[in-house]
A and B are shown apart, each in its own frame.
Chain A
């Protein structure tokens, strides 16, 4: 079975500081991994995806994530936080049946 675990349900950073949101996966096969963002009262928006082409994946809004097989991790980072980054972030793994399994989410607060 495939699953993801997000460490830290709440993360606070100062504006301009590094953002690091953690995600570890469990999969018996090479995984397809995703990060989605959810703003209040909205659906989920794709930030980036890993499909084995490259271990460092760049997404929208300056976010990137690095796939580390040895650590079974796919952490999301952004060098400099902006106030508009405040949102809920979800890591997800997709199986071959196109079914997505999401983590419990990390709420990012950006302090001015």
Chain B
């Protein structure tokens, strides 16, 4: 079974630009979550997609947006980049977000996309 793959692995942007990060979920997983991990910090939940709809959002502004496609892959878009957006962006896939409290749900992470904003 294939794991979670993310692209690009590294990228550099300047303030005000826009960026799109991509993620392919693990085979059999229907839910994708995105996390931001600033240097020296733990991952922070951005949002989650299930059945191509946003299904939960953390404390991030609307310039962070996403998509999920019928094959469960996903994109994270960030507009009007700021210096503080520099971070490792992690995609994670899982199963059956819609069923809520199943203890079996775990996140399978990709290696991340490291974004540097200058």
Nearest-Cβ distance from residue A35 to partner chain B, whole angstroms? 11
Closest to B100 in A: A96
For chain B, residues 69 to 94, give those with C-beta under 8 angstroms from any C-beta of chain A.
90, 92, 94
A98, B97: Cβ atoms closer than 8 Å: yes
Closest to A41 in B: B111
Count of chain A residues with a beta carbon within 8 Å of a chain B beta carbon: 26
Nearest-Cβ distance from residue A38 to partner chain B, whole angstroms? 9
A18–B90 Cα gap in the complex (Å)? 31
Nearest-Cβ distance from residue B102 to partner chain A, whole angstroms? 9
B106, A49: Cβ atoms closer than 8 Å: yes
Known: A97-B97, A104-B42. A43 touches B4 (CB 8 A): yes
Nearest-Cβ distance from residue B96 to partner chain A, whole angstroms? 8
Indicate which residue in B44, B90, B101 contacts A44 across the interface (CB closer than 8 Å): B90
Is B107 an interface position by the 8 A CB rule? yes
A98, B109: Cβ atoms closer than 8 Å: no
A83 partner residues in chain B, CB cutoff 8 A: none
B24 partner residues in chain A, CB cutoff 8 A: none
For chain A, residues 37 to 52, give those with C-beta under 8 angstroms from any C-beta of chain B.
41-46, 49, 51-52
B109, A44: Cβ atoms closer than 8 Å: yes
A49–B102 Cα gap in the complex (Å)? 12
Nearest-Cβ distance from residue B7 to partner chain A, whole angstroms? 13
A90–B4 Cα gap in the complex (Å)? 19
Which positions in A face B, CB cutoff 8 Å? 32, 34, 36, 41-46, 49, 51-53, 90, 92, 94, 96-105
Given contacts A36-B109, A101-B45, 7 further A-B contacts (CB under 8 A): A43-B4, A43-B112, A44-B90, A97-B55, A98-B31, A100-B33, A100-B43
